[in-house]
Chain A
Amino acid sequence: MLKIENLHASVEGKQILKGINLEVKAGEVHAIMGPNGSGKSTLASVLAGREEYEVTEGSVTFLNDDLLELAPEERAHAGIFLAFQYPIEIPGVSTTNFLKTAVNQTREARGLKAFDAVSFLKEMKEKMKLVDIDQALLSRALNEGFSGGEKKRNEIFQMAMLEPKLSILDETDSGLDIDALKIVADGVNKLKGPDNASIVVTHYQRLLDYIVPDFVHVLYKGRIVKSGDKTLALELEEKGYDWIKEEVAAL
């Protein structure tokens, strides 16, 4: 589904990703872990199409398309969803307000009929249940005055509405208490299927108790320096990152 080869990216002249290789197949869950500042969010942003980040080398194919050629909205239409680490606030624009445009533009791009007002509301109601989110919250200005948990829940709600093929969750667990974490994980698990995949970025093992990964990768200094199965996450939890850093330094 997704194939990243030798991906290099820089921002403001600073090289951040230094040769990422990663393949994600349909049905898989990949966890990406790593210390702060390793480039996890940068990787997520590059995949979502943030212009600030310049790809200097390498390639990314998504469902046989050159992902890097597509505008951010075209990537969303193709099935990429990024749940932001820091969802921004947009005064005067409510979730309900922009999501109808987002969902309908996405549906049209996928050859589906746009929702009319009634079917859109019905769809909303269904997906709201999934992440236990309140209508009132969705009518408020996007993320303005939302708690950390509400912001993350809103991200997962939008994900549910957009039905992506590949979701990238960037530290969706950070700032959540255990109940909120369960709700978010629950939402993600319910959306899982044989035809879609997720990349879960986190630096705590905690989330992976709820969203069980097939693969765990450690990103450090812009490279994937180690990959394994879910036991790698447990090992990291126990030993921290120092041993990885030492291994890298020894090379």
Chain B
Amino acid sequence: MSEVLTLEDQLLADFDGWLDQHYADASSLKAIKKAGAETFKSLGLPQRKSEAYKYTPITKTIEKNFDIETVENASTLTKSDCEAKFYNEEDANHLVFINGIFVDDYSKIVSGSSDLTIRVLDEQSINEHPELKDNLGKVNGSQIDPFAALNLAYFNQGVFIKSAKNADNKNTYIYQFLDASASQAVIFPRVFVYGSTGSRTRVYEKTFFNGDNNTLNISIVESMVEANAEVRFTKLQNYETNSYAVEGIYAHQAKDSRFYTNTFSFEGAVIRNNVYINIDAENCEGHMNGLYQLSGKSHVDNNTSVDHLKPHSYSNELYKGILDDHSRGVFNGKIYVRPDAQKTNAFQSNNNILLSDDATINTKPQLEIWADDVQCSHGCTTGQLDEDAIFYLQARGVNKPQAKALLLNAFANEALNELQNDLMKEEIEEIILNKLK
């Protein structure tokens, strides 16, 4: 009788061999990755009763849709295939990841060490950058999620982005190519963004697909935002019906800093976003915005936390959802205000429009407040498109799809407010419109 392997076992089956093959015994990275695997083992994957993954039975989903043993992650994408997808912005950095691996050769980097250092996240960069070595895999929140730990164990050649002090940096685009033409793809991209004191860094990430097999993207972004620095990380998740993902963004903020994340999600079989901001100093601003527009059987789960540890900071969170067909949206927003964090202002809202009777939204705000002198609010709404408004616009000669698009754009617009990138904004507005046709 053969023993049934758990998914954890299957995922780690070849880990030791793989690690020995890629990393020398004495390397720092090997130790970090081993520790990642240990954390993963001790956390285990979310089980049926998991509170954190309540509406997204991720383990069962992966078991059902992936044959871990056959995954190859080979790709035939060429440099020009990738370049063809670059945003039309000459004076910007364009970084290519193929199946979770940063491909330096395919990337176009215009910044230099005087403003923005962009390097392969490998043994060498770890040894040259103590801020990377000291924090990799340690940004708060990432240790409690098994997928973040699994990514730490398995990521291979991520990217390290470090702003020089006071530099106002050019845009950086990250293109995540998922190539599942040969077999299923299970990938582990990792990005570390270090915003030095007084600097501004903006990163825009977008996903692309090649091939028809299922893909599982276990992606992690960590960011350290130093004093008076600003980091913006935006994701355009243009997933497909056979895409699965667990993506994490973990940020740590020093005093007077600002951190912004935007997550725009369009479709996906099962997509889970974990966003975790630690506000560990005074006078910080943390912003989390998101928009999910889903149809078919898409399922997108946004699980967000902001942790106020020190006084006088501000956080604002706005997620908007447009749900059609049998799609499901999940929103969970946690706000922690620790005993020391007096004079915190924390706001959260989640608004949804259901375009079909069969679409579902599970939304849950969760406020845990230990300080007494704070201002916190949260609210969620779920409704339909206003038929009177549609008729009004039609009566003025606007056809029905366009009328709906105008109304949905107006609804979605607020979630686009913090996106300071016209190229991406226009693209997103077009996606919203096209999905309504």
Contact = CB atoms under 8 A, between A and B. Distances in A.
B398 A98 contact: yes
A110 to B, nearest CB: 10
Interface string A127-164: 00000000000000000000000000000001000100
B399 A92 contact: no
Given A88-B388, A90-B389, A105-B402, A73 B407 contact: no
A103 interface: yes
Interface in A95-124: 97-99, 101-103, 105-106, 109
A24 B93 CA distance: 65
B18 interface: no
Interface string B386-401: 1011011111111110
A215 interface: no
Contact of B389 (A72, A73, A88, A101): A88
A105 B105 CA distance: 47
A155 to B, nearest CB: 10
A73 B394 contact: yes
Interface residues of A, number: 30
A82 interface: yes
B406 interface: yes
Given A91-B410, A93-B406, A98-B406, A105 B399 contact: yes
B391 A102 contact: no
A28 to B, nearest CB: 22
A105 B396 CA distance: 10
A50 B402 CA distance: 17
A49 B410 contact: no
A233 interface: no
Nearest to A158: B396
Secondary structure at the B interface, as helix, strand, loop or mixed, is helix
Given A50-B391, A101-B406, A105-B402, A92 B396 contact: no
B411 A101 contact: no
A204 interface: no
Contact of A93 (B394, B397, B400, B410): B410
Contacts of B388: 88
A223 to B, nearest CB: 25
Interface in B280-301: none
B394 A92 contact: no
Given A92-B409, A102-B397, A105-B397, 16 more contacts: A49-B394, A49-B395, A71-B400, A72-B391, A72-B394, A73-B398, A73-B403, A76-B394, A88-B388, A90-B386, A90-B389, A93-B389, A98-B396, A101-B398, A105-B402, A162-B397
Which of the listed residues B386, B395, B407 has the most CB atoms from chain A within 10 Å of its own CB? B395
A84 B388 CA distance: 11
A93 B399 contact: no
A106 B410 contact: no
B396 A99 contact: yes
A99 B393 CA distance: 9
